[in-house]
A and B are shown apart, each in its own frame.
Chain A
Amino acid sequence: MGHETISQIVVSALLANNFVLAMFLGLCPFLGVSGKLDTAFPMGVATTFVMLVASLCAYGLNLLLSAFHLEFLRLIAYIVVIASAVQLVEMVLKKYSPALFRALGIYLPLITTNCAVLGVALFQTAREYDFLQSMAFSFGGGAGFTLALVLMASVRERLQLSDIPGVAQGTALSLMLAGILSLAFMGFAGMGG
Chain B
Amino acid sequence: MTAQVPVVEATPTTSMIKTLGIVATVCGLIIVGAYQGTYSAVAANKKIAIERAVFKVIPGSKNISEFYAMPNGIAPAAGETPPGAVKFYAAYDANDRLTGVAAEAGAKGYADVVRILYGYSQDCRCIIGIGVVSMRETPGIGDKILTDRQFLANFTALDVKLNADLSALANAVKTVKHGTKSHAWEVEAISGATVTSKAVGKGINDSAQSLLPKLVPQIEKLRSRQS
Contact = CB atoms under 8 A, between A and B. Distances in A.
- Asked whether the complex places CB atoms of A and B closer than 8 A, the reply is yes
Nearest to A72: B35
Contacts of B35: 72
Interface centre among A4, A72, A109, A127 (most CB of B within 10 A): A72
B145 to A, nearest CB: 16
A1 interface: yes
A76 B28 CA distance: 10
B1 A106 contact: yes
A126 B31 CA distance: 20
A72 B31 CA distance: 7
B27 interface: yes
B31 A73 contact: yes
Interface of A (DSSP majority class): loop
Contacts of B107: 3
A109 B35 CA distance: 31
B168 to A, nearest CB: 18
Contact of B27 (A3, A4, A76, A190): A76
A170 interface: no
Nearest to A16: B111
B105 to A, nearest CB: 11
B86 to A, nearest CB: 14
Q: Could you say which interface size class chain A belongs to?
A: 10 to 19
A165 interface: no
A17 interface: yes
A193 interface: yes
Contacts of B106: 1
A59 to B, nearest CB: 19
Q: Could you say which interface size class chain B belongs to?
A: 10 to 19
A189 interface: yes
A2 B2 CA distance: 42
Interface string B183-203: 000000000000100000000
A110 interface: yes
B108 interface: yes
A109 B3 CA distance: 10
B1 A4 contact: no
A76 B108 CA distance: 30
Contacts of B31: 72-73, 76
Interface string A104-122: 0010011000000000000
B84 to A, nearest CB: 14
Interface string A48-87: 0000000000000000000000001100100000000000
